Amino acid sequence: MKSLFTAIKGHVGEFLGAFSQFIFLDNSIYHVFNNVLLPRVNGDTTQIDHIIVSKYGIFVTEAKNMKGWIFGDEKQATWTQTLFKEKYTFQNPLRQNYLHIKTLSELLALEENKFHSVVMFWGTAELKTAMPDNVLTHSYTSYIKSKKVVLLSDSEVKTICDKLSTGKLKNSFANTQKHVDALKKRFESTDICPQCGAKLTLRTAKTGSHRGQQFLGCSRYPTCRYIKNL
């Protein structure tokens, strides 16, 4: 199984999302921030494709521009893309989004129940396993509009938009490249888990079709189930 830097890939899809879908949201209710780089407590950065602030909560969106069949489970560390008989692994976007929400929750001093996680697959991707209703290949705007419970006051919405406008990093080429380089380094590392940052350890499969084969596994297993084939 080949490894793709899919976490780095897909900027075309991200911008297509902003242009072709979010234009249908009422901008007096939904305030959209695209391609946002935010600082993390550890000095690193995290990139969020789209943040939509409304009185119905904050929609944190992970966009994937992909083709082929997509296989995955809510609890798995990695999902699989099958394309022309080739298989590629990529980070579970629901887990990616959870980290994004944690970052925003700390930055904005808001409870996590004020956020909605949304995963959008652009292109011709087909979901081949059962997914939660917030993992979408179509009807993105309808899903966002389906949330009708008021979670934030008008003044809270304004304050959040102001904080995002002033708190986000400049999306300069240098900052974007730094973020991409950091992600690539984590995925290429044989010592650090790219999913959670813990240490990778050498293990041997004891059961299944790969019995006897060695692989790198996260030392935080079973909390983190990331594996890297050798």
Tens of pLDDT, residues 126-138? 999 999 999 999 8
| Higher per-residue pLDDT: 90 or 21 | 90
**CA neighbours closer than 13 Å in the CB half-sphere of residue 28:** 0
In this structure, are residues 202 and 214 in contact, taking their beta carbons and an 8 Å threshold? yes
185 vs 58 pLDDT, higher one: 58
Mean pLDDT of 205-221: 79
pLDDT band for position 80 (cuts 50, 70, 90)? very high
Residue 207 is predicted with a pLDDT of: 78
Between 205 and 229, name the one with better pLDDT. 205
Mean pLDDT, all residues of the chain? 79
Question: In this structure, what token pair is assigned to residue 174?
Answer: 């240098």
- Output the pLDDT for position 221: 79
Residue with token string 């959040």: 160
Rounded Cα–Cα distance for residues 176 and 12 (Å): 14
Q: For the whole prediction, is pTM greater than 0.85? A: no
Q: What is the pLDDT of residues 144-194, one digit of tens each?
A: 999 999 999 999 999 999 988 876 654 544 454 554 555 555 555 567 777
CB atoms within 10 A of CB 150: 11
Tokens 């983190």, residue located: 224
